[in-house]
Chain A
């Protein structure tokens, strides 16, 4: 019935088309609209529901409101150290320098942050940040951010296309020309013509079984950009957040903010031992407390104390939990204990304090796990959270290797290198969202003429409706997705091995064939089975990229840990891994040397060692 082809579809024209309406996409759209160009904003969900809303801890910006020793120099050095020096140093520099202004701008647009005693924006401690640096609103900073951007944006004349999914990017020769999409509501196709396109689609978490990400995080942006000719970079670096909920089973993967540890929460194994003191990496020894007393003082704002080992980088903490579980010292459901209730030994009003500092965590555990975090320790374990790799971009303009195609936020690579520091994501969104919007608008003004090739749209349309014509006994989309998630979780997860990853690659090749043959029931009106079928090629593309890069990197660094190569190898520290689409349609992997850091930045790294 409605599965037949549309002979006509709506064409919408914008100067700048932004795909994705989380923090980065909204910020890009606001910036572009501010320059006077016509801006369209596409979101797969309703406005304001993007993953940014889940961010809890805060946004990193060296404002120095709590500790005036902080500066962009220290933030830059922290980001580079956390990223194991695979970062795009230009992006790390711009990020550290511009984040404070972007945060203040949010306040001017109505965001209301927690305050210092003298009324300035309060900043909290977070893993890998030397000084208290995260501007925050309790533990719902992401909600404050996205609502501020959303409410500011709706008055900027941006055309918002809600519940629309992009199927393919359109090209005019080498340059971008727009995107071809469908609306989820009616299943109608839409052609967006635009001389500049900004990708702000977020991450890839749904490639894994246990994830903090929602259904939306199917790697659309990475995959669409790759198929349009852009390069993907460092895809092996996936962040497994150390603290996801693990019990009851239905909540597995839901995030427990790092803010719990920032407020004094400690990690313990089944023997009650605080195991994070067991192994402190060499390059963090000088900045990490060597006893519980000092660690506690740090969380309470003592400037002369060093941070507790629970606040080491996420990759390290996740691996430490993994070691405890494998050694048989895990919690009953295969994780570790995260205890914030213990602070009642130190604070008179601990219960009220926890509820005030971590209200949504309190609420989340009460409601979903029926337990009171002010009284009992939480059971937690690693969960797929973020991808450091993504679309390769120019550090200043955020343009990809495809003229007119920009990328910002999680979908872009570079800022975080091999591992992202908590709090550097929200600041990434606003710093590079702004830049992407600014330069996309500039590009659109300078290169306004594009021609649409109707054949590209027709091919995408034919592929999209093909699943309706297939026999009902073909594979279902959910089963293919689940098989992929199981394989990626088991074989390309937190600890990796050559033969397991080769198994994953073979599984992906097999699932590609199945995905090309899935059948969809029903019609095109709001049909999640169909939507899932159309997400599969994206999930498979990013899974293959992750796996190929992970096989190539024969060392352990940041978010990428290999049991067969457990040490960091300096030889792997001088290049990024790039994935591009070869002329034969297969993935090409190349090693791209990292340009030498200029002297003024080397100096900054040295002075913060």
Chain B
């Protein structure tokens, strides 16, 4: 079976961020751990046995819902998908909330800004159906091409690590990698006819991304956010606004020929 063995238990220290609304400090907890456990298991154990009021978000515990985002040993990760055997065994493990969002309590942050941003993006606008029964015909290859964008579980780790948001706090000017990816998913949907390019340039701040790929590195779904979503969108923006020949052509033809 797996390479994992039924090894015994050991003690390890976990430094968890405790506090409310911006105040707080790391607090050490000693936990009994075994191989195969994930960080979320330890947080639950501490919650049940030592700190009933320890706040954390979680749901599926299988890397599918994107609720348990945190910074583990300083790196943005899902607590449910971070196995202890991937972390140094002989040092304390630090777990703290995502730092790019307002703090609520302990490991929980206020991520509501993300939900507001999404509302601003033009929704899906399908072309007229292909068949009289109101259905469409799509080739598998065309579906496959955009599935990568649609795997996103909205954990917001990419938003957390993006320096435009985290360090420069440009939440009003920039929608962040998650929503550039979302815009790409819509723009490249085989049925969509909406045009989000002007908004990407003017309202969503795509020019602020300088392609450091930090978002791609932390994506638990391994989505190539920068290469496959942001750069193609930047190219569309460039084609539309900075390409004189293209602009001429556009005057005579529709931009999207879907």
Contacts and interface: CB of A to CB of B under 8 A. Distances in A.
Interface of A: 45-51, 53-54, 104, 107-110, 112-115, 117-122, 137-138, 140, 142-144, 147, 151-152, 154-155, 160, 162, 185, 214-216, 247-251, 254-255, 331-332, 360, 363-364, 367-371, 376-377, 379, 476-479, 482, 520-523, 525-530, 532
A377 B130 CA distance: 43
Contacts of B163: none
A360 B67 contact: no
Which of A53, A114, A120, A254 has the most chain B CB within a 10 Å cutoff?
A53
Interface residues of B, number: 66
B143 A248 contact: no
Contacts of B54: 528
A364 B139 CA distance: 28
B36 interface: yes
B61 A254 contact: yes
A110 B190 CA distance: 10
Given A118-B137, A144-B150, A522-B52, A49 B65 contact: yes
18 contacts: A53-B59, A104-B134, A108-B126, A112-B190, A115-B139, A117-B140, A119-B130, A120-B135, A137-B147, A137-B150, A143-B64, A143-B151, A185-B104, A214-B61, A368-B81, A369-B4, A525-B104, A526-B106
A369 B2 contact: yes
Interface stretch (B111-119, B210-218, B237-245, B248-256): B111-119
Given A151-B123, A370-B2, A478-B48, A112 B138 contact: yes
Interface string B31-53: 00011111001000001110011
Contacts of B29: none
B135 A250 contact: no
A100 B3 CA distance: 44
A118 B34 CA distance: 51
B4 A107 contact: no
Interface string B17-36: 00010000000000000111
B160 to A, nearest CB: 15
A249 B67 contact: no
A122 B126 CA distance: 19
Q: Which 9 A-B pairs have the closest CB atoms?
A: A248-B36, A529-B52, A522-B53, A119-B137, A110-B124, A478-B48, A526-B55, A371-B2, A214-B59
A215 B105 CA distance: 19
Contact of A478 (B2, B52, B57, B123): B52
Contacts of B118: 151, 154
Contacts of B151: 140, 143
B195 interface: no
A519 to B, nearest CB: 9
Interface in B51-90: 52-67, 81, 83
A528 B126 CA distance: 43
Given A247-B1, A250-B41, A368 B137 contact: no
A507 B73 CA distance: 42
A526 B150 contact: no
B60 A53 contact: yes
A425 B57 CA distance: 26
Contacts of A520: 52-53
A53 B65 CA distance: 6
Contacts of A521: 52-53
Majority-rule SS of A interface residues: loop
Nearest to B153: A143
A248 B1 contact: no
B63 A249 contact: no
Given A112-B146, A254-B61, A477 B38 contact: no
Nearest to A110: B124
A208 to B, nearest CB: 15
B65 A54 contact: yes
Contact of B64 (A113, A251, A360, A532): A360
B105 A525 contact: yes
Given A363-B63, A478-B52, A107 B1 contact: no
Given A214-B59, A363-B63, A525 B140 contact: no
Nearest to A360: B64
Contacts of B137: 118-120
B16 interface: no
A478 B55 contact: no
Contacts of B3: 370-371
A455 B41 CA distance: 41
Nearest to B141: A115
B36 to A, nearest CB: 3
A586 to B, nearest CB: 31
B186 to A, nearest CB: 8
Contact of B55 (A51, A528, A532): A528
A491 B54 CA distance: 31
B98 interface: no
Contacts of A49: 59-60, 65-67
Contacts of A523: 53
Given A53-B60, A54-B64, A368 B83 contact: yes
A367 B34 contact: no
Contact of B47 (A162, A370, A529): A529
A425 to B, nearest CB: 16
A110 B41 contact: no
Contacts of A379: 1
B119 A155 contact: yes
Contact of A528 (B47, B63, B119, B146): B47
A250 B33 CA distance: 10
Contacts of A254: 61-62
B138 A250 contact: no
Contacts of B2: 247-248, 369-371, 376
A248 B37 contact: yes
B189 interface: yes
Contact of B138 (A119, A370, A532): A119
B11 to A, nearest CB: 17
Which of A108, A118, A332, A371 has the most chain B CB within a 10 Å cutoff?
A108
A377 B151 CA distance: 25
B53 A115 contact: no
